[in-house]
Amino acid sequence: MNNVRMIEFKDIVDENNKERPMGHLTPIESGQDIPFEIKRIYYLTRVPENTIRGFHSHKELQQVLLCLNGRVTISVATPYEKELITLDDPARGLYIGPMIWREMYDFSPGSVLVVLASQHYNEEEYIRDYRSYCEIAQEYLKGE
């Protein structure tokens, strides 16, 4: 789907110390691992079971979603197609560009969803009404 893709980050495991595992280290560098300058970071934690969040699109915002602990399912859609993506690996991020309708659900207990965003928070930039979204997205996608 246009404007949606997975990004693989480095997963550094120090294997020199065989007797004592040292865990994983994942570096993320703005402009290198992320295709935009990071202007905002926020995270979703302690999301109760059976909660569904999202139900909106953004006009221009680009974001990368990372699940640092646990699991969460993300539905990404345009008026023409839909994909379900499970995030459960801190070394993989989901890039979501402009004009993608998203919903987030199946948050596992203790899950931590971190979002890196290309712009500061601006409610004017959201499209929260699905019918308006479809009209605007159909025009937008003609130009793609």
Q: How many CB atoms lie within 10 A of CB 9?
A: 18
Q: Are 141 and 78 in contact (CB under 8 A)?
A: yes
- Distances from the Cα of 52 to the Cαs of 48, 103, 130, in angstroms? 9, 7, 15
**Of 93, 98, 84, which is closest to residue 126 (Cα–Cα)?**
98
What torsion do the CA atoms of 107, 108, 109, 112 make, to the nearest 10 degrees?
Answer: -60
Binding mask 46-85 for ligand T46 (x = CB under 6 A): -------xx---x----x-x--------------------
**Judged by CB under 6 A, does residue 130 bind ligand T46?**
no
**Judged by CB under 6 A, does residue 43 bind ligand T46?**
no
Identified catalytic residue from 24, 56, 58, 120 = 56
**Of 56, 130, 55, which is closest to residue 98 (Cα–Cα)?**
56
Total chain residues near ligand T46 (CB under 6 A):
12
- Closer to ligand T46 by CB, 9 or 95: give it: 95
CB of 126 to ligand T46, least distance (A): 7
As given in the structure block, the two tokens for residue 111 are 């899950």
CB of 116 to ligand T46, least distance (A): 11
By CB under 6 A, the residues from 9 to 38 that bind ligand T46 are none
Question: Which one-letter DSSP state was computed for residue 137?
Answer: H
- Closer to ligand T46 by CB, 30 or 122: give it: 122
Active site residue 120: no
- Which residues are known catalytic residues? 56
Binding site for ligand T46 (CB under 6 A): 40, 42, 44, 53-54, 58, 63, 65, 102, 104, 115, 121
